[in-house]
Structure formats: structure tokens, C-alpha cells
């Protein structure tokens, strides 16, 4: 246990208890995040229930290929995060750094594709507001669909940007050998956050890109 002295806070009995407390704290934070996104999912569900035809028609304007590719990219980044946590728990420093950098790259690819999509929507005049141009039958309700789309994928993208900052800090610390098999709690907690953001996208993808596509 002498190795643990540097990071074991005095109010914990041992490293396992400290790790458990940190992990629970992260889960408590993620529950508040569920409620944050939950409110938006609820709003979407209510409007979709009332305006299902307009929402289906508007949903066809999203790029299903880019959406599917982005889902795969994010799932791949979740795998690299799981591998990073695994490497950290075994004290494999180089593997940890490798998977952290790979995660950063995949996260940036996701955001790159996302902002490409946003730019296409801007060019097509599908951003709700004064310049909103929609040729479909029900532009008012389509504007509500796109408002939900930009708000929810936007808040998700913000979480991705914060996640990239966290993983950059982790990679920096990993490069300086701050983590070991005995202490890798920050890697584990950042991993929980990243997987949670992945789970949010797993629901955003079918709700915005797929529903009402069957034609």
C-alpha cells in the first residue's frame, strides 16, 4: 500500500473505497445528464407525436449515410476508450497513450462530419430563422423539427468538445506517467463520461435520421 500513499485521501480507508466513491460520484453526475437530455427527448417525443407527418418529411432531409458513418465512428471511439481504461488498469503506459490519442482522433472525425452536415443544412437554408427555406408541405412544423435537431445534436456536440478537452488532458498526463495500475481513476471516470455521450448519440441517431425514412 506504500505505493498508494501519494493519492489516497485521508478520509478513505483504502484505494478500493476511494475508487468506488469517485465512480459513484461520476454516475450521480451522469444521472443529472440523463435528466438534462431527458427533457429534450421528451419535448421531441411530444412534438413528434403531434406532427408525425411533418417530422417524417423533414427527417428525410438529413444525410443518412453521414449519420450512419458518424454512429460507427462514435462506437469505435467508445471501443478505444474501453481499451484505454483496460490498458491503464494493467499499467501499460504506451498502450494507454496510444488509445487516448486514437480516441481524440475519432472524436475529431465525428465533430468534423457533424459540422460538415451543419454546413450543408446552412447552405440548403434549413436552419430555422429568417432565412429558413423549406419546400415541403408544412414549413412551420419542419422548422420545429430542425430546431430540435440543432438543439439536441448541438448540446451533444458540446459534450463531445468538452470530452475532447478532458481526453487531451488525460493524454498529457499519461505522457508524463501520472497513471499506474494502482491509480487510474481519472481515466476510468473520463471513460464513463465518453460512453455516456455515446449512449446519447445512440438514441439521437434513430430519432432524427431514421424515423419516417421508410419510403
Partner 1 sequence: MISVKTYVLVFFVLIGLTLATTAIAFVDLGGVLNVVVALTIAVAKASLVAVFFMHLLHSSRLTWLFAGAGVFWLGILLILTISDYLSRGWVSGFEMTLR
Give contact residues for partner 1 (rule: CB under 8 A). 20, 23-24, 27-28, 30-31, 34-35, 38-39, 41-42, 45-47, 49-50, 52, 64, 68, 71-72, 75-76, 78-79, 81-83, 86, 89, 188, 191-192, 195-196, 198-199, 202-203, 205-207, 209-215
User: Measured from the CB atom, is 127 or 196 closer to partner 1?
Assistant: 196
- Please report, for residues 56, 72, 110, 140, the alpha-carbon distance to residue 75 in angstroms, rounded to integers and kept in the order given: 26, 5, 10, 34
User: Measured from the CB atom, is 45 or 162 closer to partner 1?
Assistant: 45
Q: At what angle do helices 52-59 and 15-50 cross, to 10 degrees?
A: 110
* Residue 62 beta carbon to partner 1: minimum distance, rounded to whole angstroms: 12
Nearest in space to 167 (alpha carbons), one of 104, 210, 120, 215:
104
DSSP state of 206: I
User: Measured from the CB atom, is 112 or 206 closer to partner 1?
Assistant: 206
* Residue 158 beta carbon to partner 1: minimum distance, rounded to whole angstroms: 20
User: Measured from the CB atom, is 84 or 174 closer to partner 1?
Assistant: 84
CB atoms within 10 A of CB 12: 15
Q: How far apart are CA 157 and CA 160, in angstroms?
A: 5
* Residue 176 beta carbon to partner 1: minimum distance, rounded to whole angstroms: 25
* Residue 75 beta carbon to partner 1: minimum distance, rounded to whole angstroms: 5
DSSP state of 128: S
* Residue 79 beta carbon to partner 1: minimum distance, rounded to whole angstroms: 4
User: Measured from the CB atom, is 68 or 116 closer to partner 1?
Assistant: 68
Amino acid at each position: 500500500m506504500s505505493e498508494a500513499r501519494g493519492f489516497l485521501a485521508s478520509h478513505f480507508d483504502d484505494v478500493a473505497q476511494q475508487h468506488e466513491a469517485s465512480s459513484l460520484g461520476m454516475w450521480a453526475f451522469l444521472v443529472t445528464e440523463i435528466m438534462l437530455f431527458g427533457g429534450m427527448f421528451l419535448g421531441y417525443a411530444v412534438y413528434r407525436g403531434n406532427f408525425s407527418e411533418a417530422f417524417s418529411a423533414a427527417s428525410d432531409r438529413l444525410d443518412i449515410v453521414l449519420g450512419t458513418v458518424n454512429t460507427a465512428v462514435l462506437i469505435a471511439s467508445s471501443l478505444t476508450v474501453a481499451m484505454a481504461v483496460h490498458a491503464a488498469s494493467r499499467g501499460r503506459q504506451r498502450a494507454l497513450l496510444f488509445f487516448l490519442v486514437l480516441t481524440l482522433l475519432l472524436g475529431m472525425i465525428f465533430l468534423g462530419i457533424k459540422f460538415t452536415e451543419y454546413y450543408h443544412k446552412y447552405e440548403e437554408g434549413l436552419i430555422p430563422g429568417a432565412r429558413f427555406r423549406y419546400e415541403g408541405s408544412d414549413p412551420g412544423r419542419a422548422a420545429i423539427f430542425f430546431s430540435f435537431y440543432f438543439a439536441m445534436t448541438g448540446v451533444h456536440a458540446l459534450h463531445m468538445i468538452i470530452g475532447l478537452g478532458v481526453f487531451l488532458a488525460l493524454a498529457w498526463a499519461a505522457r508524463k506517467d501520472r497513471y499506474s495500475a494502482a491509480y487510474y481513476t481519472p481515466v476510468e471516470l473520463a471513460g464513463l463520461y465518453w460512453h455516456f455521450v455515446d449512449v446519447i448519440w445512440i438514441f439521437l441517431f434513430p430519432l432524427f435520421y431514421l424515423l419516417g425514412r421508410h419510403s
